[in-house]
Structure 1
Amino acid sequence: MILTTRFIEVTKTLSMMAMLYFLCACKSTQGSAHHFVGVELLNVTEQAVEDVKLRDVESGGQVSCTHIEANTACGTLFPSHDYHGQPIQLSYKYGHQFVTHEFHVDAPVSTTHPYRVYIRITDNKPDVSVVKHNAH
């Protein structure tokens, strides 16, 4: 049990490092940018989701979480990253089904504050919200 818990902790740490790489590798385009400083993947279903991947469709960069238990999360903070509206794809295994969703993040009008993105994995489709980040 201790080895399994340690493996999950190491996997989450590596996933968070990969998430930082993914978000820094997103393709820049012209126009105003939204400054994101973190991503949180929240599993609000009644069962665990596995092989969770968040991918930038344009650049191909991706991050993953191997396993997210029901009503838990996997996420990270990172240095400010500009987002320009490129499509994002979320895929995961839910029960015996492989599920894929593609979406854009609807960022707030203000681009002067850093924001954290929350992606709630639900039984239907992802619920994406952007919340102003308050540094402590």
Structure 2
Amino acid sequence: MKSFLVWFQLMVLATLPCLAVAKDVQDAQVGFPPKSTMEAALIRGENVYKRYCVLCHGVEADGQGRAAKQYDPKPANLMRSPYPSVYKEMIIRRGGEALGRSKFMPPWEQELTDEQISDLVQYLGTLVKPQ
């Protein structure tokens, strides 16, 4: 029985790389960009935005989300944000109050991974409209 378990574990371990390659091939067939591309980062960033930010900042990132009416000051209009990416990353990580802004902007450092924050900041950069 012990030899069967050892054999089974070896077989499972031997197939893991194949499964990873199969997943990459499947993603390519579906049309997902490779994980490391800028396009992939923007797609992931948009997904993070839709899950964590849209309620306050709105679908159009104009600060007019469904919950925006409850807050004073209102959520930032991210399409007109003059702040550099470094600042955006800090406010996402630490929250508004830590940077002298709205206490209603929560810190997301414990909720989001470094990759999610980086992807989100890159996505936010695509939203800024020239003034």
TM over 0.5: no
TM-score normalised per structure 2: 0.29
TM-score normalised per structure 1: 0.29
Structure number with the higher helix fraction is 2
